[in-house]
Amino acid sequence: MAHVFIDQIQPGKNIDDIYLISQPVLRSTTRGDLYIAMYASDKTGKLNCRFWQANEELFNSLPKEGFIRIKGKSELYQGNLQIIANQIFVVSADEEIKIDDYLPRTEKNISKMFKEVTAILTEVKNPFVKALVNEFIIDRELMQKFYTAPAATQYHHSYIGGLLEHTHNMLNVAKAVLPFYPKLQADLVLAGIFLHDMGKTTELSYDMAFSYTDSGQLLGHIVQTTFIVNEKVEKLRQNNVEIDQPVLDCLMHIIISHHGQYEFGSPRLPMMPEAFLVSLLDNIDAKINQVTGTIENDPSDDNWTSYIKSLEAKLYRKRVVD
Taking only the tens place, the pLDDT of each residue in 49-60 is 999 989 999 999
Q: In terms of C-beta density within 10 A (0-12 exposed, 13-18 middle, 19 or more buried), how is residue 314 classed?
A: middle
87 φ/ψ angles, rounded to the nearest 5 degrees: -140, 140
Tens-digit pLDDT profile for residues 230-246: 999 999 999 999 899 99
pLDDT value at position 63? 87
User: Which residues of the chain fall below pLDDT 50?
Assistant: none
Provide the 10 A C-beta neighbour count for residue 128: 21
pLDDT value at position 306? 81
pLDDT value at position 319? 87
- Where are the chain's structural domains? 6-101, 110-294
What CA dihedral angle connects 10, 14, 18 and 21, to 10 degrees? 60
Q: Would you say the pTM of this structure is higher than 0.85? A: no
Which H or E element spans position 272?
none
- Say how many residues make up the chain: 322
pLDDT value at position 208? 66
pLDDT value at position 12? 93
Looking only at the bridges linking them, the beta strands covering 45-51 and 80-90 are: parallel
265 φ/ψ angles, rounded to the nearest 5 degrees: 105, 5
CB 74 within 8 A of CB 13: yes
Q: Where are the beta strands (DSSP E) in the chain?
A: 14-28, 34-42, 45-51, 65-77, 80-90, 204-205, 211-212
pLDDT value at position 1? 67
The CATH class for the domain spanning 6-101 reads mainly beta
Q: Does 110-294 carry CATH code 3.40.50?
A: no
pLDDT value at position 94? 61
Q: What is the largest CA-CA distance in the chain?
A: 70
pLDDT value at position 92? 75
